[in-house]
Amino acid sequence: MAFAKTEIYEIDRRKLLRMTGTMGVGAMFVNPAELFAAGMCEKVTIDNGSIEADQAGATLQFWIDGLHMGARSNIKSRANITLFMDLNQSAVSYVESVVIMDENKHTMGARYFDASMKMRDGHVPYVRFENIELDATKTYYCVYAVRSGSTLKLFTSKIDKPEISRLNTTFLPQKMRDDFKTFLYGNTANPTPGLITTQFEFYTANGLALHCARGRVHDMASDGSSFTVNIDFMHGDVAADHYMRYFIVMDPVGRLLGYHKRTFGDGMSGSVNVTAVTAQQKADDNLPDLQVANIADCPYIQFYTEDSYDAIARNMIRLR
């Protein structure tokens, strides 16, 4: 997962619509910072508390899949980007539109909502833009427009030099962070912190045959309160320092859905069932509510397997 710092501006909704029209793909979208510089809107200094973008609970969280081709060929690199904003939908204040634009302020994608469109906990739904052209050397902007009567608050974030999202330490329990230091902090064998196995990237010579993630959803309650995701072992247990240890399920932007840690010699083999994060796990690992997602809100899930020695492998399961 990645985070972007957010600035907030306030403007009359009718004025913005006159300037931007319908915000169709390819249309120009006025950067709120430029409106502020021209005296056409106001900047909100503190609206949602003091939240740092590199900490759990940051306002904008995003995950990028793709950008594999850029360094390997002259094919333009395309990617999918999923966004999650810590904003709630209500009848009096709700996210009306989300726009992603390039550094020239051309709209690359737009989504529209009303007050009834929300997650089960009241948050605005995930926003996903698929197969858009992203350049890892350029800058992009995301704007969430929150409507309150005739007024709009524009939550704006800059995504600078995007790269493929990886596991990082921000939303992981401390005990898991300590176990993952080899992968998440980097060492001689793995000079790129957070690198995980995909069909595009692998940092050891052992190949993908024994180091890929395979799983399936066995059941899921309609309200997301319970689920079972069955995840295969990548390979059998080899030794006390080389065995299938962690099995993790996350939402589209890297928030936890469920996880299981094995101990060597526990007699398990073949696969592990991962269920929803429990109240006990939340208490033991000091997990804030925003750090844990609801699977019923997810258009897809991502899951990981880890063998404590060689690799962390990742895959996805679409739910709808």
Domain boundaries, the chain: 2-160, 174-318
Fold of 174-318: Immunoglobulin-like (2.60.40)
Question: What is the per-residue pLDDT across 151-208, written as a single tens digit (0 to 9) for each?
Answer: 888 888 889 888 777 776 667 888 887 787 766 555 565 555 555 655 555 555 566 6
Mean pLDDT of the chain: 80
CA–CA distance, 310 with 140 (Å, rounded to integer): 35
What are the pLDDT digits (tens) for 16-61? 666 665 544 444 556 677 666 666 666 765 444 433 434 444 478 8
Encode pLDDT of 229-244 as tens digits: 999 999 999 999 889 9
Residues in the chain: 320
- In degrees, to the nearest 5, what angle opens at C-alpha 45 toward C-alphas 40 and 46? 135
Which is nearest to 194 in space by CA: 219, 169, 214?
A: 169
- Between CA 144 and CA 152 the distance in angstroms is 10
Query: Which pLDDT tens digit goes with each residue over 126-143?
Result: 999 998 888 888 999 998
pTM above 0.85, yes or no: no
In sequence order, which ranges of the chain are alpha helices (DSSP H)? 13-20, 32-37, 174-179, 181-184, 279-285
